Chains A and B, each alone.
Chain A
Amino acid sequence: MHHFKRLAASTAIVLCAAGALAQDSITVAIQLEPPNLDPTSGAAQAVDSVLYANVFEGLTRFDADGAVVRGLAQSWDISDDGLVYTFNLAAGVTFHDGTTMDAEDVKFSLDRARAEDSTNAQKVLFEDIADVTAVDPLTVQVTLAQPNGMFLFNLAWGDAVIVAPESIETIATNPIGTGPFAFTNWAQGDRIDLTRNETYWGAAPALETATFRFISDPTAAFAAMMAEDVDVFVGYPAPENLPQFEADPRFQVLDGSTEGETILAMNNQVAPFDNILVRQAVTHAIDRQAVIDGAMFGYGTPIGTHFAPHNPDYVDLLANSQFDPDLSRSLLEEAGMADGFTVTLKLPPPSYARRGGEIIASQLRAVGIETEITNLEWAQWLEEVFTNKDFGLTIISHTEPMDINIYANPDYYFQYDNPDFRAVLDELNATTDPDGRSALLAQAQTIISEDYVNAYLFQLAVATVARAEITGLWVNQPTAAVDLTGVSWGN
């Protein structure tokens, strides 16, 4: 035993020494492994978590606060009618395989994303593009079919990154981008390694190498962090462990927000939720704070409409749907449902839905609404709830940024159909003046709040647990990304 202790002590010294030397490498854990490494096809967010801003870059990009800033396009001009965007590309940009990034690559990438046989999961981002022209190697002209106030925002998505025709065939296993880090190795099921791109056109990152690991199991996540097997965990899966990390001087916890409006969605076309009184009754039956405390251990901001509270245009409409079981019961009575009713509650895999579902079921039972809970895998949820609209209630976090426009689509799974709302959104799309846009966004938020389309629960939080020395990590997740460009080991 004595020997063992000595051995352990000397090992620890060796490890510390190794740690001191390896200050330019980092091991980052995220929950899910990307299924492949092509950000321009499937919808898997894990692809962006690893590659966005690190390996791939677009014409524009999101910064840590979600603002749209310059990317490969260093500047742009927009014609007065809002139809023609002229992008001036950064000079001297090369892909990791040594080929030059120029206007032809931009044209290739955008044309590929909007092509007939495109499998881009966000093809809708590109649907207003009428034509892309490479004017000269460093100038690209994009012509839109109609003005789109969101176009620069759309180009910042991970699905709009610039890829090269030379390397597109093998992008799924060997992604070649222009970013500050180059892909080096993927040990499937275990980790992905990135190495600093020494010929990067922008400011060189502090880190020499970065390793991404994938740990979805919360216990394993806790153990891996505690054992210092990983340096950073972005999107830590178990909020209940966060106080332990906060109390431990070895770690820091970044309490951030995502673009995920977490809602209890109601099927607006199916009885009894086609009745606004019933929908209103549901919202008053829910104690948001209990859901946040119980499901998220207190992490999450209550919302009263489908809009991110950190957005300057957010309107606080929580007063419309305060927790009031008595009001809820009297609304049900008014709707002729005094005896309550039974509905399905279909829950996708994340714990906000599974835990939140159990809490909400218990709260709804208190006002006489019985739920039949079904836990579904994602593929099943997509088919049953999202595509076939075969559900009464479901819990889901809408993680796409600025997605209030889903309420303008009557075919969207919760089937909200209001011409007035659509008119507001049409006006919004045609408006480029910031004040006008703010007013219209406020109006849109208010309409869906007062129509009680869904029960708006909370903005999904994202916790990043990291070693205390590490600086430069994103606190919030305006898009799925682990941008390592500015990350370093303190000092």
Chain B
Amino acid sequence: MIRYALGRFASLVISLIVASIVIFAVVEVIPGDPAAFMLGVNARPDTIAALRAEMGLDQSLIARYLAWVGGMLQGDFGMSWTYKTPVADLIGDRVWVSLPLAIYALILSTIVAFPAGIYAASRRGSAGDTAIMGATQLGVAIPNFWFAMILVLIFAINLRWFSAGGFPGWGNPLAAIKALTLPAVALALPQAAILARVMRSSLLDMLGEDFIRTARAKGLTRRQALWRHALRNALIPVLTIIGLQFSFLLAGGIIIEQVFFLPGLGRLIFQSISARDLIVVESVVMLLVFTVIMVNFIVDLTYAAVDPRLRVRA
């Protein structure tokens, strides 16, 4: 186990190094001089040069890469050029929009998907099952930004139940949750559809397993077998999907954050790319990649601890 863990850790470090090089290289070759962008059309060349020096852009690529990585290792994500505040502070602000939004969407999708999936599985082939499966097909196929537009049209413009966007901050938790509701619904719909399908098929698989047959042979009804035995076992693939969806939601809200002008991480990346605030782009993308790699690492270790057979693929 220790050898396995060490091997996985080495591969984690290599992955992070490769990721940092890829991110830095891609971001640095984006055309458009950040200094020229900040100073606009009337700027004189000497002013641009002065700003480039102030931003550290006159140093070599390698020196800047090393400075960036070295800073991150000490927890210093650099200083945003346009916002002129530490990137860590920017991330600290924005994560309190993106993270709650992802959690909110996840909760919503789970609340809808679990009952729907269980119901469909328990009445396989019934009209209810068909209806739910049909609905999930629609849910998977709807482009979420279009769904968001429609939600805004109905609930913000016509009914005026929600504001069309923006985020008032957590000073007033109720208003904050209200502001995140439409975006969370828009994000949750496709996830709920996928989750319901996984829940259903996973349950149906379990119902075909030997231990369920045994339970039914002992006199349990199909539904009792489902609730008492199948559900718990069916949750494993479902939880795996939820884990996958969470990291997707964290970064994948970028378009939804655009539509609802929410000050989240996705929008920060988007704005920073167009403002050529490269250090922000690099650090935020790196942070997201780091999160996913770390989560995978922990999941792998946990699985390996539980099931020694999985240690083979080291």
* Chains A, B in direct contact (C-beta < 8 Å): yes
Within 8 A of B (CB), among A21-55: 33, 35-36, 38, 41-44
- Residues from chain A with a CB closer than 8 A to the CB of B243 are none
Cβ B261 vs Cβ A386 within 8 A: no
Which residue on chain B has the smallest CB distance to residue A32?
Answer: B271
Residue from A35, A220, A229 within 8 A of B260 (CB atoms)? A220
Q: Which of A138-146, A187-195, A304-312 contacts B (4 or more CB under 8 A)?
A: A187-195
Are A217 and B165 touching (Cβ within 8 A)? yes
For A119, what are the chain B residues with a Cβ–Cβ distance below 8 Å?
39, 47, 50-51, 54
Q: With contacts A220-B259, A377-B274 known, what are 19 further pairs, Cβ within 8 A?
A: A41-B38, A42-B38, A42-B39, A117-B54, A119-B51, A121-B47, A172-B85, A187-B169, A188-B90, A189-B262, A190-B166, A219-B259, A220-B166, A224-B164, A227-B160, A378-B32, A382-B41, A383-B31, A386-B41
Can you list 13 A-B pairs with a CB-CB distance of less than 8 A? A35-B38, A35-B82, A119-B50, A188-B263, A190-B168, A219-B164, A222-B164, A223-B157, A227-B156, A379-B32, A379-B274, A383-B36, A387-B33
Of the candidates A36, A120, A223, A379, the one whose C-beta lies within 8 Å of that of B165 is: A223
Contact B164 A220 (CB under 8 A): yes
**A379 vs B93: C-alpha distance when bound (angstroms):** 26
Please, what's the 1-or-0 string for B240-261, where 1 marks a CB less than 8 Å from any CB in chain A? 0000000000000000001111
Known contacts A124-B42, A386-B41, A400-B42, A36 near B50 by CB under 8 Å: no
Residue pair A36, B157 in contact (C-beta under 8 Å)? no
Query: Which B residues are in CB contact (< 8 Å) with A124?
Result: 42, 44
Q: Which residues, 237 to 296 on B, are CB-close (under 8 Å) to A?
A: 258-264, 267-268, 271, 273-277
A15 smallest CB distance to B (angstroms):
11
Q: Which residue of chain B has the shortest Cβ distance to A121 in the bound complex?
A: B39
| Number of chain B interface residues as a range | 35 or more
Contact A122–B263 (Cβ < 8 Å): no
Interface centre among B84, B157, B273 (most CB of A within 10 A): B84
Could you tell me the distance in whole angstroms from the C-beta of A185 to the nearest C-beta in chain B?
10
Query: Which residues of the partner chain A approach B43 to less than 8 Å between Cβ atoms?
Result: 43, 121-123
Say yes or no: A383-B32 contact (C-beta < 8 A), given A223-B152, A226-B157.
Answer: yes
Closest to A220 in B: B165
B75 interfacial contact with A, CB 8 Å: no
Name the contact of B152 in the complex, choosing from A43, A220, A349 (C-beta under 8 A).
A220
Interchain nearest-CB distance for A308 vs B (Å): 17
Binds B, one of A208-216, A354-362, A450-458: A208-216
Q: Are A189 and B267 in contact (CB under 8 A)?
A: yes
State whether the Cβ of B68 lies closer than 8 Å to any Cβ in chain A.
no
Distance between B84 CB and nearest chain A CB, rounded to angstroms: 4
Which residue of B has the minimal Cβ distance to A187? B169
Q: Does B211 touch A at the CB level, under 8 Å? A: no
Residues on A close to B: CB < 8 A?
Answer: 33, 35-36, 38, 41-44, 116-124, 172-173, 187-190, 213-217, 219-220, 222-224, 226-227, 229, 349, 377-380, 382-384, 386-387, 400
Q: Do A118 and B47 touch (CB < 8 A)?
A: yes
A387→B36 contact, CB < 8 A: yes
User: Nearest 4 A-B pairs (CB), nearest first?
Assistant: A189-B263, A43-B40, A223-B164, A379-B32
- Name the distance in Å between A221's Cβ and chain B's nearest Cβ: 8
Closest CB in chain B relative to A193 CB, distance in Å: 11
Question: Are A227 and B263 in contact, CB atoms less than 8 angstroms apart?
Answer: no
Chain B neighbourhood of A224, CB < 8 A? 163-166
Question: Closest residue of chain A to B169, judged by CB?
Answer: A187
Across the interface, do A36 and B40 meet the contact criterion of CB distance under 8 Å?
no
Q: Mark B30-66, 1 if CB is under 8 A from A, else 0.
A: 1111101111111110110011011000000000000
Bound together, the chains give a CA A380 to CA B33 distance in angstroms of 8
Q: Which residues of B contact A188 (CB under 8 A)?
A: 83, 85, 90, 93, 263
Residues of A within 8 A of B30 (CB): 379
Q: Which residues of B contact A43 (CB under 8 A)?
A: 38-43
Q: CB distance A38 to B157 under 8 Å?
A: no
Task: Give A379 to B43 CA distance when docked, in angstroms.
Answer: 14
Complex CA distance for A42 and B93, rounded to whole angstroms: 23
Q: How far is the CB of A415 from chain B (nearest CB, A)?
A: 15
CB distance from B168 to the nearest CB of A (A): 7
Contact (Cβ within 8 A) A35 B83: yes
On chain A, the residues within 8 Å of B163 by CB distance are 223-224, 227, 229
A120-B47, A383-B32 given as contacts; is B37 within 8 A of A378 (CB)? yes
Asked if A379 and B164 sit within 8 Å, CB to CB, the answer is: no
- Interface check B297, CB cutoff 8 A: no
Cβ of B213 under 8 Å from chain A: no
Question: Nearest Cβ in chain A — how far from B165, in angstroms?
Answer: 4
- Verify if B167 is at the interface (C-beta below 8 Å from A): yes
B72 at the A/B interface (Cβ < 8 Å)?
Answer: no
The one of B31, B39, B40, B94 in contact with A384, judged by C-beta atoms closer than 8 angstroms, is: B31
Instruction: Given the known inter-chain contacts A119-B50, A190-B166, A227-B157, please indicate yes or no for A379 contacting B44, CB distance below 8 A.
Output: no
In the assembled complex, B5 has its CB within 8 A of some CB on chain A = no
Contacting residues, chain B, for A214 (C-beta < 8 A): 261
Contact in complex: B47, A35 (CB < 8 Å): no
Q: B275, A118: Cβ atoms under 8 Å? A: no
Closest-by-CB residue of A relative to B49 is A117
Q: How far is the CB of B221 from chain A (nearest CB, A)?
A: 39
If A36-B84, A119-B50, A383-B31 touch, whether A215 touches B39 (CB-CB below 8 Å) is no
